[in-house]
């Protein structure tokens, strides 16, 4: 291998960084906490965006774009919201630089101070609801179903490539409804879309649930989430969908006249997923040799590498492979023929293994004579010799098989890592020895949740939807409880 990767067993965190950097997904930047998303990583995000965007539009949402900057006073209008975001926001205070006559350098022009500071959006509820005030008068203007693809900034102190960066890319849906029931239906619809995307495209099983009050989005009445499990046994929140009640409508005085011609505050939702999903994808499936990408999301699904000596062999292979490439493309397969002559086949094999391309096809002169090709799966590393006759349907079927088996494998791992604990000692032991989700009784108070977090670093990931009701006692306080909730250490 030309690029050494730290083994998961040795240092999981370093393994992750190695994959992101050596897999050409992203790079550190000169700006604290901000990353550069490299072309391969961006292609992955574009693929995710395109699938999600189609799903949003199919459910009646339209894209729009709102300002990057939020006046400080807006952020302060919803009490819980400002409480949640004040501590980590980038503040624009000036609008001009000037030459410094003393040093000859460039300084901020003190005379170009803004009257009111602008916050670089950490999320857009406030600027959007200030706008919705002008757009919504009557029930006929509802529902208003809008999504935005944008960058946001949260000045996180401890950052990780993709998982937690000061600036990240995301989509944020912001919808307005005439009734609470409609808004709640929207919230769960979007949660279902996220879950469907995670499971059927990312091959990453998720648990749908609702957050405990302490873990709610700042300003939400209820936060729904999808929670995934990474290979190190830590959970990762992969998407959230918030029922905002009338909180933002009240903060920005957005009322509508209903069918009975009476004024009422509008009901709201917001929901989002971010470039964090790229990090989740990496950690859910990859191994010590590099990325493993599920076919439906992989920027490149199949790579074909010729193995030859001399121009004559190359010409024969070219002829055959170009026909195969055309046929695969025709069938909608994202395929590349890497016949560049500046690297040897072994180097290419390692490179595409690192990049997680699901299927690698190698064709040599003898293969051509035998009318076969060597087909290698990235996920299982199994190699098969396949006939060149009818290769395209075989490859298409193989891609679907890989997709399904990647999901099945992740699901089996996840399901074997949801463990009940009935005492605090068992809870601690399971967290340390096994990881994953621990299903335990909790007395329902924020104090107990906080104490458990302080003592174990585990948080309540969610209360699963349709959670079985079961009487029990809180693992920490022994107080009565009516249901188990899922705890885990999390990213």
Identity of the residue, 110 or 390, whose beta carbon is nearer to a second copy in the bound complex? 110
143 prior amide bond cis, ω within 30: yes
Long-range contacts of 90-94 (CB under 8 A, 24+ apart): 90/119, 90/120, 90/153, 90/155, 90/166, 91/117, 91/118, 91/119, 91/120, 92/117, 92/118, 92/119, 92/120, 93/117
β-bridge partners, 106: 99
Q: How far apart are CB 167 and a second copy at their closest, in Å?
A: 5
Name the minimum Å distance from CB 278 to a second copy.
11
- Residue 310 CB, nearest approach to a second copy (Å): 23
CB of 41 to a second copy, least distance (A): 8
Both structure tokens of 26: 């992203």
Residue 37 or 238: which CB sits closer to a second copy?
37
Q: Which lies closer to a second copy via its Cβ, residue 91 or residue 322? A: 91
Residue 249 makes CB contacts below 8 A (sequence gap 6+) with 129, 176, 255, 265, 266, 267, 268
> Of the candidates 290, 199, 291, which has an alpha carbon nearest to the alpha carbon of residue 239?
199
Contact 400, 379 (CB under 8 A): no
CB of 66 to a second copy, least distance (A): 5
- Name the residues that contact a second copy, by CB under 8 A: 27, 29-31, 34-39, 42-43, 45-46, 62-72, 74-76, 82, 86-99, 105-106, 108, 117-120, 127, 130-131, 134, 140, 146, 150-151, 153, 155, 167, 169, 342
Whether residue 275 contacts residue 154, with contact meaning beta carbons closer than 8 Å, is answered with no
Cβ proximity to a second copy, 97 vs 326, nearer residue: 97
What's the min distance (Å) between Cβ of 139 and a second copy?
11
Residues 130 and 133: their CA atoms lie apart, in Å, by 6
Nearer to a second copy, 112 or 181 (CB): 112
276-285 vs 391-415: helix crossing angle, rounded to 10? 90
User: By C-beta, is 69 or 424 nearer to a second copy?
Assistant: 69
Tokens standing for residue 73:
């006073």
Distance CA(251)–CA(246), nearest Å, equals 8
Give whichever of 137 and 188 is closer to a second copy, judged by the CB atom. 137
To the nearest whole angstrom, how small is the minimum distance from the Cβ of residue 449 to a second copy?
24
The torsion angles phi and psi of 107, rounded to 5 degrees, stand at -125, 165
Minimum separation from the CB atom of position 260 to a second copy (A): 17
For residue 463, the Cα-to-chain-centroid distance in whole angstroms is 20
Residue 53 CB, nearest approach to a second copy (Å): 9
Nearer to a second copy, 150 or 163 (CB): 150
**Using CA atoms, how far apart are residues 112 and 97, in angstroms rounded to an integer?**
8
DSSP-derived secondary structure for 166-219:
SEEEEEEEEEEESSHHHHHHHHHHHHHHHHHHHHHTS---EEEEE--GGGS-TT
Nearer to a second copy, 60 or 478 (CB): 60
């Amino acid at each position: 291998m030309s690029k050494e990767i730290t083994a998961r067993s040795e240092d999981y965190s370093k393994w992750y960084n190695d994959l992101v950097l050596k897999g050409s997904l992203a790079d550190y930047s000169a700006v604290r906490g901000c990353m550069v998303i490299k072309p391969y990583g961006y292609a992955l995000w574009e693929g995710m965006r395109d699938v999600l965007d189609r799903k949003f539009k199919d459910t009646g949402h339209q894209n729009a774009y709102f300002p990057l900057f939020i006046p400080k006073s807006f952020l302060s209008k919803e009490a819980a919201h400002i409480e949640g975001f004040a501590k980590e926001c980038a503040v624009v205070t000036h609008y001009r630089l000037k030459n410094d006559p003393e040093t000859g350098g460039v300084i901020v022009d003190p005379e170009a101070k803004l009257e009111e500071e602008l916050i670089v959006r950490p999320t857009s509820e406030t600027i959007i609801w200030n706008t919705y005030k002008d757009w919504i008068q009557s029930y006929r203007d509802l529902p208003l179903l809008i999504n935005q693809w944008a960058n946001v900034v949260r000045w996180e102190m401890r950052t990780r490539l993709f998982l937690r960066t000061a600036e990240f890319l995301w989509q944020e849906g912001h919808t307005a409804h005439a009734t609470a029931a409609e808004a709640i239906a929207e919230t769960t619809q979007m949660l279902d879309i996220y879950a469907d995307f995670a499971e059927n495209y990312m091959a990453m099983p998720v648990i749908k649930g609702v957050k405990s009050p302490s873990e709610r989005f700042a300003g939400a009445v209820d936060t729904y989430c999808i929670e995934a499990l990474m290979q190190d046994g830590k959970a990762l929140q992969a998407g959230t969908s918030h029922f905002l009640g009338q909180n933002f409508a009240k903060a920005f005085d957005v009322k509508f006249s209903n069918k009975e011609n009476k004024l009422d505050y509008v009901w709201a939702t917001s929901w989002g997923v971010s470039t964090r999903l790229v990090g989740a994808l990496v950690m859910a499936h990859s191994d010590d040799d590099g990325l493993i990408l599920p076919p439906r999301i992989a920027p490149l699904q199949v790579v074909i590498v010729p193995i030859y000596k001399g121009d004559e062999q190359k010409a024969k292979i070219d002829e055959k492979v170009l026909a195969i490439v055309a046929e695969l493309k025709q069938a909608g397969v994202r395929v590349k023929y890497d016949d560049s002559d500046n690297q040897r086949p072994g180097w290419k094999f390692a490179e595409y293994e690192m990049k997680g391309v699901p299927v690698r096809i190698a064709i040599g002169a003898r293969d051509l004579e035998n009318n076969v090709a060597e087909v290698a799966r990235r996920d299982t590393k199994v190699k098969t010799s396949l006939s060149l006759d009818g290769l395209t349907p075989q490859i298409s079927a193989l891609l679907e098989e890989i997709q399904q088996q990647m999901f099945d494998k992740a699901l089996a791992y996840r399901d074997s890592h949801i463990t009940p604990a009935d005492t605090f000692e068992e809870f601690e032991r399971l967290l340390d020895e096994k990881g994953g989700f621990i299903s335990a009784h909790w007395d329902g108070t924020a104090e107990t949740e906080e104490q458990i977090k302080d003592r174990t670093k585990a948080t309540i990931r969610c209360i699963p939807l349709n959670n079985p009701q079961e009487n029990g006692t809180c693992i920490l306080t022994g107080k009565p409880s009516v249901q188990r909730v899922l705890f885990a250490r999390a990213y």
